[in-house]
Amino acid sequence: MAVSNDRVTFWFGCNMLRHAEMIRLSIMLLERVGYDVSAVGGPAYCCGTAHDHELRASSNMAGRTVEKFNEGATTDGRDKVITWCPSCHMHMSDIMAPGNATHFDIAHLSEVLSDRGAQLTSAMNVPVNRRVLLHRHVGFATHVDINSRIVDVLSRISGLELIEGPAHPGHMCSSLAAVPGALAAAAQGTWSAAAANGCDTVCTIFHSCHRELAGLDGKDNIRVRNWVHLVAESMGIDASDAYRDWRLARRRNSRHSRPAASRNFSPARSGSARRRRVDRARLPRAGRRDRRRGRKVCDGRWSRFQQASG
């Protein structure tokens, strides 16, 4: 099969709603270094991991996605799938590809940009005068040497001083959520290192980490940017961050909406006090919380939705 090395599929996974700007910028960066990009994602290209509790559904969704990538490779010459999300990448490498016949290769966004270093460097002609600490994890290194790849890309930016921050466990911050205190410790470790090194920017690699750190933007006069934002800045591309701005607006609104006397209360204490004052019998059924599962229930509709989505 004769294919062009420049035709690729960019698989952005399930995070379009929260990180559409990062995805848009990633596509633009690929195009700037010469790739013909077909971007796909969302439920139609699910890796199946969201349905791991229903193995048949998970397997069917994974097989369907692989089949679509195979079709793109055979009919459109797109024999390389570029990933953005580390969870998608690992799921493809470890489960989807071994369980299904594949006619394509996979690579992470950082790998293909780093491999086109000459084109990348020529496109990054705007100085980015920042002292940046890189927020790192070690778990994805089993599949992609991600930290070295990002360092290679960011080191090409004129005016940018790069410091490698502490290396945290897990492939990204969301993998730490189940360990009590681990997520907060990772964020604190990164932030303390940035302050100690006189950095004005913390740079995230993955979208999960960006969501965790975006709410700290401006603390100690340190800003939060994702690596694709910095590369886009160096190319003169508008690199806005609506998710970060939403988090900051929410923080400001929360601070200004509370009475002054209540601002000294801890969230846990004030929350428990509010719960005691609420007569739960008077709440509508749809708004109650199932404490064991931690999610809203509404007359069994959640379970029926799960069945339908499988």
- pLDDT at res. 49: 72
- pLDDT at res. 53: 65
- Do the Cβ atoms of 40 and 67 come closer than 8 Å? no
pTM as predicted: 0.78
Of 38, 36, 41, 37, which is closest to residue 20 (Cα–Cα)? 41
Residue 243 corresponds to which amino acid? Y
Which residue ranges in the chain fall short of pLDDT 50? 1-4, 260-310
- Do the Cβ atoms of 105 and 135 come closer than 8 Å? no
Beta-bridged to residue 168, according to DSSP, are 137
- Do the Cβ atoms of 218 and 211 come closer than 8 Å? no
Which residue ranges form the domains of the chain, and what is each CATH number? Answer: 7-114 (3.40.50), 125-247 (3.40.50)
- Do the Cβ atoms of 91 and 63 come closer than 8 Å? no
pLDDT tens digits along 128-155: 999 999 999 999 999 999 999 999 999 9
φ, ψ (nearest 5 deg) of residue 40: -140, 155
- pLDDT at res. 257: 55
- pLDDT at res. 52: 65
